[in-house]
Amino acid sequence: MTTRSATGRVAVVTGGAAGIGQAFAERLAVDGHAVAVADLGPADETVRLIEKAGGRGFAAHCDVSSPESVRAFAAEVEGEFGQVDVLVNNAGIYPATAFLGMSWAEWQRVLGVNLNSIFLLGQAFVPGMVQRGWGRVISVSSTTFHSGIGLNTHYTASKGGVIGFSRSLAAEVGEHGVTVNTIAPGLVRTATTEKGPQAAWFDALAQLQAIKRTQEPHDLVGAMSFLASDHAAFITGQTLVVDGGWMRA
């Protein structure tokens, strides 16, 4: 087994090649974690950022909606680091599609990547956390679950499922020192959202927020870092909304 980080803890970040996941991976490295990144695309840049921050980085191709791919990724991570202490379920897709024009295949694809993935990753890594008596599971949900905006029935359903899954799992593993929480961002400016239909929503949404600017990936890393830490040991089953004050109810 290779040498682990100064904290003795290892984190996995899915969808960590760019955007929010990359920001999460970099912050975890700053906090002292070794970080394993799962993504469909190359994550060389993220590994460089992890190493620049003083951490040990590892990345592997993984389709988080595929049981076989997740099993292979988990085996690679175990071989590289020996165990996983923090699981950040960040990978997600968000095609904007009207329900009346939505295909069953697209519905399944969104639920597969956004919701089924946290089941697969959880089954891969949570048993070890329970056995060792310490762990953190942090999943990215969305304020679309609270707002119910249109053109997002599949996405909103998947993110509501993330919240429900996390609440229930928290009840099962809390006595073993494992916490399970979610972070719900608003619309975050990334390379993907800038190229998609979401780009037309940035300015209008910012005006509905208490903090009237577009959300960036770095706006989320503090919440993630806290939930991954010992300071959040008595917080579980919760959804922390980080959206500049859009959802204030």
20-58 pLDDT, tens digit each: 999 999 999 999 999 999 999 999 999 999 999 999 999
Q: Is residue 160 part of a domain?
A: yes
Q: Is residue 146 part of a domain?
A: yes
Q: What percent of the chain stands above pLDDT 90? A: 87
Q: Is residue 119 part of a domain?
A: yes
pLDDT computed for residue 1 by the predictor: 38
Q: Which domain holds residue 124?
A: 10-242
Q: Is residue 29 part of a domain?
A: yes
Residues 6+ apart with CB under 8 A from 168: none
Residues in the chain: 249
Catalytic residue among 81, 125, 145, 155: 155
CATH number at residue 64: 3.40.50.720
Domain count, the chain: 1
For residue 229, give the nearest of 63, 4, 33 by alpha carbon.
33
The continuous run of DSSP H or E covering 89 comes out as strand 86-89
Residue 8: strand, helix, or coil: coil
Environment class of 210 (CB within 10 Å of its CB; exposed 0-12, middle 13-18, buried 19+): exposed
Query: Is residue 155 annotated as a catalytic residue, yes or no?
Result: yes
pLDDT confidence band for 102 (50 / 70 / 90):
very high
Q: Is residue 5 part of a domain?
A: no
Q: Is residue 249 part of a domain?
A: no
Asked if the model's pLDDT at residue 134 lies above 90, the reply is yes
The pTM score is 0.94
pLDDT computed for residue 230 by the predictor: 97
